[in-house]
């Protein structure tokens, strides 16, 4: 990482859903940074708030969801002045989600690789038409130039016969090719940050490995940052440089991937890691599971959100107070009273 100032800085982000039955605090004070060229993995079970965090960053949270606090600071690279590139920091929470500036950032500077491949393309327009339109929306390219960029992009993501594929419809492609076309679409505007939301859930294991390898190669070639959202720690181990572990809308632990995998501090991270098969596991060996289940979002426990399932919970402390996210040496940060006594301020 050459650049020390983050590309994206999410500070104490809160995204709540205001329902008739009450308020669901889907994301309740999440903090992390993403640097240029870094792959950040956000991991957690379903309902932990990882996808809501991503939607908040892109400002595509649907009602009754809304951002209720915090900052999303995006480092915009502006035009060149006197030969040097001007940078400015924009707080995305302050922008109109449908306004011109946010639309230019979303798609132009931050792009999404969605979870559901069929939703990424319109079935009634060809891949080529959609790619060319996306390119021309964010780049000053004529039709012929945009067509050539589209062909190059399809080639870059490993789609054979890219010229012919321009006239294909998304439903004519295999799952693997469609996934590659989606990545081409996300790259069409040369984004500085790619957000990949469980991008390999809909494909088989072989295609998954190919897609992950492709994303890693593209990221290295383009020095783009990636936020990789997944529930799969195996994918995190392959992809991420830095990991954020979420549970019930809060960050439990974050740190460099090696620290998280070799020296996990938080009892939740430790339990998650125990529950994945290792190369030493024997076939049909029963893996440990995390006791209990994730509480209903309306009934979040008081204190540390993990305390009802935590085997090391300290009675009278963990069930009463919520730990803050604190540094515990190096770049590792942990929300747990086993390591510090700092309480979270709401
Ligand atoms: Fe367990 Fe307490 Fe740490 Fe929460 S704060 S993870 S309950 S030890």
Interval 253-263: pLDDT, tens: 999 999 999 99
pLDDT at 285: 60
Cα torsion 92, 132, 37, 2 to 10°: value is -90
pLDDT at 324: 96
271: Cα separation from own chain's centroid: 22
Q: Name the 3-class secondary structure at 124.
A: coil
pLDDT at 1 over 50: no
pLDDT at 277 over 60: yes
The residue whose CB lies within 8 Å of the most ligand 1 atoms, and thus the one to mutate among 320, 325, 336, 339, is: 336
Which token pair is 133? 């339109």
Rounded distance between C-alpha atoms, residue 64 and residue 77, angstroms: 32
Domain residue spans in the chain?
A: 119-188
List the one residue out of 270, 231, 266, 235 whose CA is nearest residue 251. 266
Q: Give the confidence band of 2 by pLDDT, cuts at 50, 70, 90.
A: very low
pLDDT at 176: 82
Q: At what angle do helices 175-187 and 127-138 cross, to 10 degrees?
A: 20
Least confident stretch, 2-11, 163-172, 253-262: 2-11
Taking the model in full, what pTM does it have? 0.89
- pLDDT average, residue stretch 33-51: 92
Least confident stretch, 15-19, 150-154, 212-216, 278-282: 278-282
Rounded distance between C-alpha atoms, residue 42 and residue 32, angstroms: 10
**More confident position, 275 or 13:** 13
Q: Which atom of ligand 1 is nearest to the CA of 339?
A: 3
- pLDDT average, residue stretch 242-252: 96
Between the CA of 317 and the centroid of ligand 1 the distance, in Å, is 9
Pocket of ligand 1 from Cβ distances under 6 Å: 266-267, 304, 306-307, 310, 312-314, 318, 323, 336-338
Q: Give the confidence band of 146 by pLDDT, cuts at 50, 70, 90.
A: very high
Rounded distance between C-alpha atoms, residue 245 and residue 256, angstroms: 11
Between the CA of 45 and the centroid of ligand 1 the distance, in Å, is 18
- pLDDT average, residue stretch 283-291: 66
Return mean pLDDT, the chain. Answer: 88
pLDDT at 204: 73
Angle ∠(25,30,32) on CA atoms, nearest 5: 160
List the one residue out of 188, 189, 190, 186 whose CA is nearest residue 199. 186
Which token pair is 165? 């594929």
Rounded distance between C-alpha atoms, residue 19 and residue 12, angstroms: 22
CB 72 within 8 Å of CB 13: yes
- Residues 6 or more apart from 279 whose CB is under 8 A from it? none
Q: Give the confidence band of 162 by pLDDT, cuts at 50, 70, 90.
A: very high
pLDDT at 281 over 60: no
Rounded distance between C-alpha atoms, residue 177 and residue 155, angstroms: 11
Q: Which atom of ligand 1 is nearest to the CA of 252?
A: 6
- For 98, which DSSP code? T
- Residues 6 or more apart from 43 whose CB is under 8 A from it? 50, 230, 231, 232, 233, 236, 243, 244, 245, 246, 272
pLDDT at 219: 84
- pLDDT average, residue stretch 42-55: 91
CB 341 within 8 Å of CB 320: no
Q: Residue for token digits 């720690």?
A: 233
């Amino acid at each position: 990482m050459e650049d020390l100032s983050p590309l994206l800085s999410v500070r104490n982000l809160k995204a709540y859903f205001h329902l008739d039955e009450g308020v669901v605090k889907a994301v309740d004070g999440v903090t992390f940074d993403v640097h240029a060229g870094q792959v950040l993995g956000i991991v957690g079970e379903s309902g932990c708030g990882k996808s809501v965090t991503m939607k908040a960053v892109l400002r595509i949270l649907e009602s009754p969801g809304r951002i209720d606090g915090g900052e999303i600071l995006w480092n915009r690279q502006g035009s060149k002045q006197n030969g040097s590139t001007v940078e400015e920091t924009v707080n995305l929470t302050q922008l109109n989600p449908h306004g011109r500036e946010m639309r230019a950032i979303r798609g132009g500077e931050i792009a999404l690789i969605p979870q559901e491949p069929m939703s990424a393309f319109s079935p009634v327009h060809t891949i080529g038409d959609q790619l060319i339109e996306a390119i021309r929306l964010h780049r000053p390219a004529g039709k012929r130039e945009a067509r050539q960029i589209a062909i190059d992009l399809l080639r870059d993501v490993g789609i054979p016969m890219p010229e012919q594929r321009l006239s294909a419809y998304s439903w004519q492609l295999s799952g693997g090719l469609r996934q590659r076309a989606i990545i081409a679409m996300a790259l069409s505007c040369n984004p500085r940050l790619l957000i990949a939301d469980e991008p390999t859930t809909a494909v088989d294991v072989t295609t998954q490995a190919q897609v992950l390898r492709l994303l890693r190669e593209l990221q290295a070639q383009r020095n783009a940052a990636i936020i990789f959202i997944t529930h799969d720690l195996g994918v995190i181990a392959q992809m991420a440089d830095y990991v954020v572990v979420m549970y019930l809308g809060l960050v439990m632990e974050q740190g460099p991937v090696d620290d998280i995998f070799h020296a996990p501090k938080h009892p939740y991270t430790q339990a998650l890691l125990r529950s994945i098969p290792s190369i030493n596991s024997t076939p049909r060996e029963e893996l440990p599971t995390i006791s209990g289940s994730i509480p209903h979002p309306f009934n979040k426990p008081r204190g540390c959100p993990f305390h009802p399932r935590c085997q090391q919970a300290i009675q009278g402390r963990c069930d009463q107070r919520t730990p803050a996210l604190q540094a515990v040496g190096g770049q590792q940060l942990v929300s747990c009273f086993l390591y510090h006594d700092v309480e979270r301020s709401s």
